[in-house]
Homo-oligomer: A and B are copies of this chain.
Amino acid sequence: MSTHSFTEENYLKLIYALANRGTNEVSTNALAEVTATRAASVTDMLKRLADKELIHYRKYQGVRLTDEGERLALKIIRRHRLWEVFLVDKLGFGWDQVHEMAEELEHIRSDELVERLDTFLDNPQFDPHGDPIPTPAGHMPDAPSQKLADLLPSETACLLGVLDHSAAFLQHLDRSGLTLGCTVNVSEISAFDRSMRVTIPPGQTLFVSYDVARNLLVGPPKP
């Protein structure tokens, strides 16, 4: 019934995130980057995590989570996303304000707290940014993978999530009037800069740069 430090939990979460885009082996340098530390510090921590059998680690070969490590990573991610739902839905924070708070709340150690929170929030399936919430059993649901930028003229889709989680991007969407769940219809795509003219209910037209469109995740339109 070991307990883990905040730092260890953060490493696991970040290894999971890095492994699930790109190759499955995560490099020391990549971790140094996302933890904002030095490679030597990462090596130190990797040894500790390997001792605890949370990662597979062979010198110079990069790391992979063990089953137990992945289970733990998903648990942290579940907590993080549920707390974000709480902060936005119950306390009225903007979706651009909650990341830092959730980074702290995700380390509160009580399984019963998390499950009661889940119930209190009516078992949400997605966090405020459209990221899927892992199940209590430790399964990560599939996330949408199609981007708004992938659509062709005249196609219609439902806005489901964001790839860029920065406050700047989220605030830009707020100012544009783009919200998750809204139906978007592509009316025109510029051949020059790939920017899009789209319409959203109730019949509003707006222009979306390629940089925005490739950071928006979409799925089939709601009926």
Contact = CB atoms under 8 A, between A and B. Distances in A.
Interface string A82-117: 000001001111000000110011011110110011
A186 to B, nearest CB: 38
Given A91-B117, A93-B116, 8 more contacts: A87-B113, A90-B120, A91-B113, A100-B110, A101-B113, A104-B107, A104-B108, A104-B109
A113 B90 CA distance: 11
Contact of A101 (B90, B101, B108): B108
A36 to B, nearest CB: 16
How many identical subunits does the complex contain?
2
Interface in A43-97: 87, 90-93
Interface of A: 87, 90-93, 100-101, 104-105, 107-110, 112-113, 116-117, 120
Contacts of A101: 108, 110, 113
Nearest to A117: B91
A91 B100 CA distance: 23
Nearest to A91: B116
A121 to B, nearest CB: 10
**Which interface residue of A87, A108, A117 has the most chain B CB atoms within 10 A?**
A108
Nearest to A113: B101
19 contacts: A87-B113, A90-B120, A91-B113, A91-B116, A91-B117, A91-B120, A92-B116, A93-B112, A93-B116, A100-B110, A101-B108, A101-B110, A101-B113, A104-B107, A104-B108, A104-B109, A104-B110, A105-B105, A105-B108
